[in-house]
Structure 1
Amino acid sequence: MAEVRFKGRIVVLATVVLLVFTAIGSRLAMLHLRPVDWVVRPIMEARSFESKPAANRGRIVDRTGRILAMDTPSYHVCIDPKWISEHGDPVAVARHLSDEFRLSEADLAGDLAQTHREYTRIKKYVSGHQIKRFKRMNMGVVYTPAELVGGVETNIYLKGVWFEEAPIRKYPNGPLMAHVVGFSNLEGIGSAGVELRMNEYLRGKEGYRKGQVDGSGREIYRTREMDIPPEDGATVELTLDSWLQYQVEKIIEKTCHDFNAKAVWAIVQHVRTGEILAMASFPTYDPNRYSKAPEEWRRNRAIGFNYEPGSTMKAAVIAAALDHDVVDEGDVFDCEKGYWVYGGKALRDSHGEEDLTVADIVKVSSNIGTAKIALEMGNQMVYDSLRKFHFGERLDVGLPGEEGGIFYSPKHWSKISITRIGMGHEIGVTALQVLSMMNAIAYNGVQMQPYLVKRVVTPDGTVLHENKPEVIGRPLDPPAARRMQQLLARVVMEEGGTGTKAQVEGYTVAGKTGTAQKIRPKEEGGGYYSKNFTSSFAGFLPVENPEIGIIVVADDPGEYTDSGRKINYYGGTVCGPAFQEIATMAVEYLRIAPGGNRVYVARPQE
């Protein structure tokens, strides 16, 4: 009887065991062969991965192909504190990473102690050179210290350490052309200059990758569902020439120091195409360390600084008077021996003259003579004529931060405004506007669109955007422009002209000096400073067949004598010599013949 009961228990126990294993097997079969959604979802989520590979930002190059801005490989140093605490050696990780990357070992130990975290970035933007002692391995890196251990090179496996790719923007020429090229921030977004204006072309398109990983976190390539590679940004080709730009930057820096100016800026432009060949401003900055520079140093004064131009404006007003047959070169005006009262306000010349022809008014830069010519023209004619030169509006050269100047309509003028606007007061301009006006005179009355982006090209050679010479106006008829060219040549080439220091040996140069008192802010009482000036010289050469136009502007140059008198601040004194140096260098480099002929392709000097 007992034996029967024992056998029955065995059968019951075996049946229970069989049922249990049958249930487990059925459950396993169901989970593996026909798993339900709530089982599958977390598993797939844990194994799936998505990434968005970053595209390289496009390059910026000059007209010769020299690289001005480019992405270079760099990396973020990252750790997984949780993984290191479970599988690695936190002490070794902290010691070796602190030694190699000059980090605080105590701070690293604090990061490693946060074992609930799986991702911590401990060092940003290290170069490939800085990680040369590390070799990537599964779930970590192999580190080879510089010091030998017992005379033998040692490899140390640091689990939970890896390097995250993070391209960084580099400007290999440092400050060269900084105000034109600009910079992009650490997020790869253009923030100034061409980097900002052409950001849509430069930034490229990030890729997209979707797939699965194994238990060690490695991608299973055969399960990759989608792989869209990133598209690198396009290359932006500028019209500027690096060698020419470098020489201009050196010259204006020297001018700034020699004449104690607050700032100096200059532009070199091709007369008949509108291409900007050089655009420089000093003080400058290094876009590789843009955050270290004062904001004012990052300002592109060539296009972003409004100033009263002074006597360079006389070229536009008198050219317009000739164009409208209001005056002729030989007409004579009484210049009142340098002192004249009109509308209850006195107007002075730096040198008193009596009767002067229109030609000599230009040559010696008479304020009184120009004011009387402007009165002959009348308010509306003066206003319309200057508007034809595009004063009072942006020229859209292709950079952010461009100012449009300040030029009010005649309804806002006082009785004496016309006498002041003709000599370059009561009007705000940029250097680019003045040079564009001067080049219009040089090009027989045709004004060209200034531009500095030549074209935009994708990595595969497709041209996305291209600028070509474009006429934006004809402010003067050719005969009047040619007559004005000769009058401006007398300013430089004849004794007694205000611009004789701008002469270039072997070439005929035309141009105009400008010296204007700076405006005193309202909070300081308004009006004009008596000893603070903006000085300039704008001109072109060769007069026979103009090829290049150049402008140089200096903010508050000069020095004081022991008696408190200010000297060496006139445009012809400060900016004329700088123009001469730039022009002498440019005609040699660009191979411009004395008769003009043509500009040869710029190339490095032999």
Structure 2
Amino acid sequence: MKQKRIRLFSIVLLLALSGLSGRLMQLQLFQTESYSKHKINLLEESVAQRTQALVIDEGRGEFLDRNGEPLTYTEKNVLVLFPFLKQLDWPVDKVAEILHVPQETIRTKVEEAKGPIVFGGKEPLRLSEEQMKEINSLEIQGVFALTKKYKSDEVPASQLIGVTGENTDVFHERYPDKVKGANQKIGVSGLQESFDEWLVAEEEAKLIYHVDARGGPLFGVDVKYLAPANPFYPLNVKTTIDRRMQEALEEVADTYNIQKGGLLLLDIEKSEILASVSRPAMKSRDPFSGGAGNLMLKALIPGSVFKTVVAAAAMDEGLVDERRLFPCDEDIRGEAAEKPHGNINIKTSIAVSCNRTFADLAKELTEKDDHLLDEYAEKVGLIGDIAWKGNVFHYESFPQLQVSEGRIFASDGDRAEPKLVAQTGIGQQEVRVTPLGIANMMATIARGGEKFQVSAVSSVQYQNGTNMFSFPRQKVEGETITPFTAMKLQQYLRGVVNSPEGTAPYLQNAAYTIAGKTGTAQTGNYRGERVKANELYNKWFAGYFPFEDPKYALVAVNMDVTIGEGGIYPIFKDSVDAVYRLDHE
């Protein structure tokens, strides 16, 4: 009986030891870098418990403007001090003399330090190259003058670039074969999300030293510099953004206090985004509290800007020429128009933005083929695959931008209702298109009907500036409007600005000659009491310039404003003038 108990106890003990051994093997051999469902890196965590470190560069790739200048970070020459200095007798007087600050200020910062610090804190004292050389030549252990990378508080084109966040579960779901620390950042919106796979950090660059349980140096005062071993990584994304133009248009948006809306500027020849301004502005410290969404890529009510599509379709389909007259003393219901214009042709109808003309043409087009308006919206580059999409490495159809899908009708049933078709013809009812699409439409017309996908990124680059992959200009597949129709539209859009009856004579004084189209879209919303004076509109102007030799397409929209506020013409003119000044500096 006794032997039986001893044998049983031995078996239990053996099983317990086997389980403990298995657990130790799991922790120390098999899952050291990917423990549990949370993929915890035990090696990194153990090191973190016995070290203090100052991160110099978190290792994630960055975004550059079209000239290769950083958009998302700045580099500062700073002084780094380690807390073990308080235990040493070191030449603080020499450092203070180089920095031109009192010795006591430096001593106080070191005494207060619980870990390695940047002298000056959130507003670090910036060192000159000469000061850096002098400090480092002193060779004081625990005192370093170095260049540290800082995230920019204000990122140009912030909604286009997007934001990052920390989510270990999402990281491992996205990249199951990669083992990273718990604080690994991933892109959650904009280009940060689209290009996340190329931007994820390989390794941080940091200064590190080992500490005991009380925070004192464990192996003396030896500080190590750890940095990625591969000089080509992390990769950077070179955007098409022109930083100067971006900042100039952001200033215009703020000058006119655009609360909701924005501006989008395209390079017509290259079909690239030069500037993208979306308001409300994104808060850098709390981006998702409001303003994180990019309205330039969202489908909005365009109003009369859509008449450009109706005119293109009607001319291409042979329904109208300049001899045909429309009764523009009447509105789309056949009642007296609020602004009567008499019997006028298509050219003048675009200039004065006559609703009756385009309501009638929309009905005729739909009777001929109830999908013609959709087809011509694609032919002019307003809807469809307008943003860059193509084969990139293992992606068969990689999209640079996440653009809302535009629409002309909400349902097929609407196409059979003449009243709804009439409203559609003037850009109301269920028409929803993006500012990007509208700018692309203007660029397409300016090019004589040629359609190209719009890009926001020109290349992915190695750290040394050489290209890993370039994004070539790509034509949009499918039919286009005829060159003759494009030429006529160019003349008509110019008439909006320079003809006596045009809706935008204010723009005649712009630094560049402009062709374009006005839009005032009813939103169905009110500010307060539901009376006419409180009705809210989206105010648009979209066009291209200079008219004689088109270089830029620009769209401006001021959303949810009353009829008496938020004038769009000064916004558009000041934007054009800003581009002109930058072109001629």
Q: Tell me if both proteins adopt one fold, taking TM over 0.5 as the criterion.
A: yes
Question: Distance between the aligned counterparts of 2:536 and 2:274, measured in 1?
Answer: 31
Contact 2:83-2:111 within 8 A present in 1 as well:
no
Does residue 552 (structure 1) correspond to residue 556 (structure 2)? The answer is: yes
Matches within 5 A, 1:321-360: 321-335=314-328, 337-341=329-333, 349-360=337-348
SS in 2 for 1:67: coil
Cα shift readout 1:541-564 (whole Å, capped 9, x = no counterpart): 122221111110001224xxxxxx
Does residue 442 (structure 1) correspond to residue 446 (structure 2)? The answer is: yes
SS in 2 for 1:464: strand
Residues 282 and 409 of structure 1: is their aligned pair in 2 closer, same or farther, counting only changes over 3 Å? closer
Report % sequence identity: 21
Task: Note the residue ranges of structure 1 that are not aligned, 5 or more in a row.
Answer: 1-36, 85-95, 109-121, 134-154, 222-226, 559-565, 592-604
SS in 2 for 1:438: helix
Aligned letter for 1:395?
I
Matches within 5 A, 1:415-454: 415-425=418-428, 426-454=430-458
Does residue 178 (structure 1) correspond to residue 158 (structure 2)? The answer is: yes
1:199 alignment counterpart: 196
Contact 1:274-1:451 within 8 A present in 2 as well:
yes
Cα shift readout 1:375-418 (whole Å, capped 9, x = no counterpart): 22223322321233455546335665532233337623133222
1:250 alignment counterpart: 251
Cα shift readout 1:5-64 (whole Å, capped 9, x = no counterpart): xxxxxxxxxxxxxxxxxxxxxxxxxxxxxxxx99xx9xx99xx97779986222321112
Question: Distance between the aligned counterparts of 1:49 and 1:490, measured in 2?
Answer: 70
- TM-score of the superposition, structure 1-length normalised? 0.64
SS in 1 for 2:310: helix
Question: Distance between the aligned counterparts of 2:457 and 2:43, measured in 1?
Answer: 41
Question: Distance between the aligned counterparts of 1:510 and 1:548, measured in 2?
Answer: 11
Residues 217 and 465 of structure 1: is their aligned pair in 2 closer, same or farther, counting only changes over 3 Å? same
RMSD between aligned residues:
4.5
Aligned letter for 1:487?
Y
Shift of the alpha carbon at 1:353?
A: 2.5
SS in 1 for 2:406: coil
Cα shift readout 1:93-135 (whole Å, capped 9, x = no counterpart): xxx99974998xxxx9xxxxxxxxxxxxx77x954654999xx
SS in 2 for 1:269: strand
Contact 1:349-1:367 within 8 A present in 2 as well:
no
Matches within 5 A, 1:386-425: 386-393=377-384, 395-396=386-387, 401-408=402-409, 411-413=412-414, 414-425=417-428
Question: What is the aligned length?
Answer: 455
Shift of the alpha carbon at 1:491?
A: 0.4
Does residue 70 (structure 1) correspond to residue 73 (structure 2)? The answer is: yes
Aligned letter for 1:66?
E
1:234 alignment counterpart: 235
Shift of the alpha carbon at 1:359?
A: 0.8
Contact 2:542-2:556 within 8 A present in 1 as well:
yes
Cα shift readout 1:314-358 (whole Å, capped 9, x = no counterpart): 0111022112221112311122x233427xxx7x75412331111
Does residue 489 (structure 1) correspond to residue 486 (structure 2)? The answer is: no
Cα shift readout 1:198-243 (whole Å, capped 9, x = no counterpart): 22222242399xxxx9x99659x9xxxxx96686311211111111
Does residue 509 (structure 1) correspond to residue 501 (structure 2)? The answer is: no
1:536 alignment counterpart: 540
Aligned letter for 1:177?
A
2:290 alignment counterpart: 296
1:370 alignment counterpart: 358
Aligned letter for 1:490?
G
2:394 alignment counterpart: none
Residues 586 and 79 of structure 1: is their aligned pair in 2 closer, same or farther, counting only changes over 3 Å? closer
Does residue 519 (structure 1) correspond to residue 500 (structure 2)? The answer is: no
Contact 1:363-1:491 within 8 A present in 2 as well:
yes
Residues 498 and 77 of structure 1: is their aligned pair in 2 closer, same or farther, counting only changes over 3 Å? same
Contact 2:72-2:155 within 8 A present in 1 as well:
no
Cα shift readout 1:269-288 (whole Å, capped 9, x = no counterpart): 0112211111112331353x
Residues 71 and 585 of structure 1: is their aligned pair in 2 closer, same or farther, counting only changes over 3 Å? closer
SS in 1 for 2:290: helix
Question: Distance between the aligned counterparts of 1:519 and 1:312, measured in 2?
Answer: 18
Question: Distance between the aligned counterparts of 1:69 and 1:430, measured in 2?
Answer: 26
Contact 2:283-2:289 within 8 A present in 1 as well:
no
Contact 1:71-1:169 within 8 A present in 2 as well:
yes
Shift of the alpha carbon at 1:519?
A: 3.4
Q: Pick the structure with greater CA Rg.
A: 1
SS in 2 for 1:68: coil
Cα shift readout 1:469-492 (whole Å, capped 9, x = no counterpart): 221155211111001100110001
Does residue 385 (structure 1) correspond to residue 376 (structure 2)? The answer is: yes
1:143 alignment counterpart: none
Contact 1:55-1:232 within 8 A present in 2 as well:
no
- TM-score of the superposition, structure 2-length normalised? 0.67
Residues 242 and 462 of structure 1: is their aligned pair in 2 closer, same or farther, counting only changes over 3 Å? closer
Shift of the alpha carbon at 1:443?
A: 0.9
Contact 1:405-1:430 within 8 A present in 2 as well:
yes
SS in 1 for 2:520: strand
Contact 1:449-1:471 within 8 A present in 2 as well:
yes
Does residue 459 (structure 1) correspond to residue 463 (structure 2)? The answer is: yes
Aligned letter for 2:379?
K
Contact 1:394-1:405 within 8 A present in 2 as well:
no
Aligned letter for 1:341?
R
Cα shift readout 1:169-199 (whole Å, capped 9, x = no counterpart): 5116x24322223333363322333222222
Question: Distance between the aligned counterparts of 1:67 and 1:207, measured in 2?
Answer: 19
Aligned letter for 1:284?
A
Question: Distance between the aligned counterparts of 2:244 and 2:470, measured in 1?
Answer: 23
Aligned letter for 2:68?
G
1:272 alignment counterpart: 269
Task: Note the residue ranges of structure 2 that are not aligned, 5 or more in a row.
Answer: 1-20, 30-41, 49-54, 88-104, 126-139, 167-182, 223-227, 389-398
Cα shift readout 1:361-380 (whole Å, capped 9, x = no counterpart): 10100111111122222233
Shift of the alpha carbon at 1:294?
A: 5.8
1:284 alignment counterpart: 281
